[in-house]
Amino acid sequence: MMKIGIFSNPGSASTRVSNALKSKIKAEHLVLDNDDPDILITVGGDGTLLSAFHHYEKQLAKIRFVGIHTGHLGFYTDWRDYEVDELIDSLAHDNGQSVSYPLLDILIEYSDGKKQSMLALNESTLKKLTGTMLANVYIKDQLFELFRGDGLCVSTPTGSTAYNKSAGGAVVSSELDVVQVSEIASINNRVFRTLGSPIIISPQEWVRIEPVELNENLMTCDQKVVENRQIKSVTYRISKQRIAFAQYRHTQFWKRVSESFIGVKPVD
């Protein structure tokens, strides 16, 4: 029988919805299992879903996610807090339907020779805590540019709507298995020059960023932070893993973008 897990933030509204879900799941004789779920329901918002993603990232091959938002509209959350009954009915009639999105593989090499692998749903950034970050940027091991500025943001297609968009990056269709690199406040003048626009990397390519100065660099992976370690290089490429959502009523990507950022309505 299908096993259902619940991952909730500690807020009062989310706790109330989470408790209602547990009661209704038991009433429908469905199995509640937070350790080894087939379906994971997140209750909160996009931040909660990101936390759940990293909590269960070793189990992505078998989990389908469902998001309930209890505050503002979330980009990854399709259900509202007052739609618990409809969601329970969908769970009871589940037939395995799903939609999946690409993820970002990250390999960090530290100055001591140690390496660390990470996985991002939205994006990763590399910045310098003080002053200007100087970094050599390679595409498929070919030097592309010497970057000068606040930092660089590397995002997935769905993550292109988050920090990447704020940094001036393009919104990329979730149908594409690509990686986007966007500059964060780059320095461009008569002496220093970067491309000055976002770049899109194919699944057969990878990007490696090598900070010129190893101290005081800050790297993020979604909500995770790597600091106080000397980073020699960070390599990004599209992951072979994907995140899957139960497609009971999963909102189409461009509809989600329009509703989240524009709210356009047809003219009569």
- Structure confidence by residue, pLDDT tens digits, 84-93: 999 999 999 9
Instruction: Point out the catalytic residue in the list 33, 36, 46, 81.
Output: 46
Answer yes or no: do 128 and 207 share one domain. yes
In the structure encoding, which two tokens stand for residue 203, read together?
Answer: 């699944």
Answer yes or no: do 107 and 125 share one domain. yes
Residues 12-28 have a mean pLDDT of 93
61 — pLDDT class (breaks 50, 70, 90): very high
Answer yes or no: do 43 and 120 share one domain. no
Let me know if residue 9 belongs to a domain. yes
Answer yes or no: do 74 and 13 share one domain. yes
In the structure encoding, which two tokens stand for residue 222, read together?
Answer: 């979604």
Binding residues for NAD(+): 46-47, 122-123, 148, 150, 161-166, 185
- Structure confidence by residue, pLDDT tens digits, 197-237: 999 999 999 999 999 999 889 999 999 998 888 999 999 99
Active-site annotation holds for 46: yes
Let me know if residue 266 belongs to a domain. no
Answer yes or no: do 190 and 226 share one domain. yes
Say yes or no to pLDDT of 106 above 70: yes
Could you tell me the CATH number of the domain that includes residue 253? 3.40.50.10330
Q: Give the pLDDT confidence score for residue 73 in this predicted structure.
A: 62
Residues 58-69 have a mean pLDDT of 96
Let me know if residue 267 belongs to a domain. no
Let me know if residue 184 belongs to a domain. yes
Please, what is the average pLDDT of the chain?
Answer: 92
Count of CB atoms situated within 10 Å of the CB of 224: 12
Answer yes or no: do 169 and 190 share one domain. yes
Answer yes or no: do 70 and 85 share one domain. yes
Answer yes or no: do 117 and 155 share one domain. yes
Residues 172-194 have a mean pLDDT of 92
Could you tell me the CATH number of the domain that includes residue 143? 2.60.200.30
- What domain range includes position 230? 103-240
